[in-house]
Amino acid sequence: MNCEKCQELVGELVDGALSPEDESTLTLHLEECLACSEVRNDLQSIVSFCQSHRGEYSAPPNETALWLRIRNVIETEVQLPATALPAQGFWSRWMSRSWELSIPQLAASAAAMVLIVSLGTTVLLRRWDNGAGKAPVATLPNSDAATRVRDRMREQQQAMDYWNHRVEANKVRWNQQMRDTFDRNVKALDETVNERLNELNRNPHDEFSEAMLNAALNDKLAMLRDFSDL
């Protein structure tokens, strides 16, 4: 047996997986060849070490933080089945992604979100004023429309209270710039919510305001979720 063949088989020898004939041939070679017997000894050390340390596990760098990340995602799925349902594919993909944003990136994203909401509001309001986006005549009776909005608000408010609580717990770790960014965005979204609510109080049939209110509430919820991870 030459060294090449021996070193091909030496792993199986260590595992005890060779036939008796191969084993005796190999053993003969190993008795004569120092290099191959060194390979056998080294592989034996590696395999023995692995076997004797089987069942020893290392902890993640921060077990608690990892658990909180997992709980965040799970609770989002459990708590918001109704809101998650229409956009499940998008949101589940979105939330399961691993986001590693720097503060400037985060601030830019938040600013972009506010800008999009504001632009959308402006454009739609203009179209509305020009008559282009005239709402269809409401088919629902007053009470149904109002109940729908109230239900939606109540459902969203529960979720927001939950995420707000998480954000408040994390806020102490934020620097001033981050707190300012968060407060500015919350303020902008709250203003939109209040404007649309006032509009709906005046005219409960206003489906445009209802849609804008829903969009602003969704944006706020998404923002709270993002900030609760930081």
Partner 1 sequence: MGAFEELYQRHNRRVYSLCLRMTGNVSEAEDLAQEVFIQLFRKIGSFRGESAFTTWLHRLTVNQVLMHFRKRGVKMEQTTEDGETPIQIVKGTENPNAMPVVDRIALDKAISQLPPGYRTVFTLHDIEGHEHEEIARMLGCSVGTSKSQLHKARMKLRGLLRQQKVKE
Residues within the interface to partner 1 (CB under 8 A) = 3-4, 7-8, 11-12, 33-36, 38-39, 42-43, 45-47, 49-51, 53-54, 56-61, 63, 66-67, 69-71, 73-75, 77, 96, 98
Spatial contact of 222 and 185, defined as CB atoms under 8 Å apart: no
**Minimum separation from the CB atom of position 36 to partner 1 (A):** 8
Q: How many CB atoms lie within 10 A of CB 206?
A: 19
**Minimum separation from the CB atom of position 71 to partner 1 (A):** 7
Q: Of 67 and 150, which has the nearer Cβ to partner 1?
A: 67
Q: What separation in angstroms does the CA of 205 have from each of 139, 185, 199? A: 9, 28, 10
Side-chain-side CA neighbours of residue 163 (13 Å):
27
**Minimum separation from the CB atom of position 142 to partner 1 (A):** 40
Q: Of 34 and 132, which has the nearer Cβ to partner 1?
A: 34
Coil vs helix vs strand at 125: helix
- The dihedral of CA 28, 29, 35, 39: what is its sign? negative
Tell me which amino acid residue 51 is.
Q
Q: Of 47 and 103, which has the nearer Cβ to partner 1?
A: 47
d(CA 53, CA 108): 48
The one-character DSSP state at 18 is: S
**Minimum separation from the CB atom of position 169 to partner 1 (A):** 17
What's 197-223 look like in SS3?
A: HHHHHHCCCCHHHHHHHHHHHHHHHHH
d(CA 81, CA 183): 28
**Minimum separation from the CB atom of position 82 to partner 1 (A):** 18
Q: Of 5 and 184, which has the nearer Cβ to partner 1?
A: 5
**Minimum separation from the CB atom of position 53 to partner 1 (A):** 7
Q: Of 18 and 213, which has the nearer Cβ to partner 1?
A: 18
Residue 22: which of 5, 35, 36, 38 has the closest Cα?
Answer: 5
Q: Of 21 and 56, which has the nearer Cβ to partner 1?
A: 56
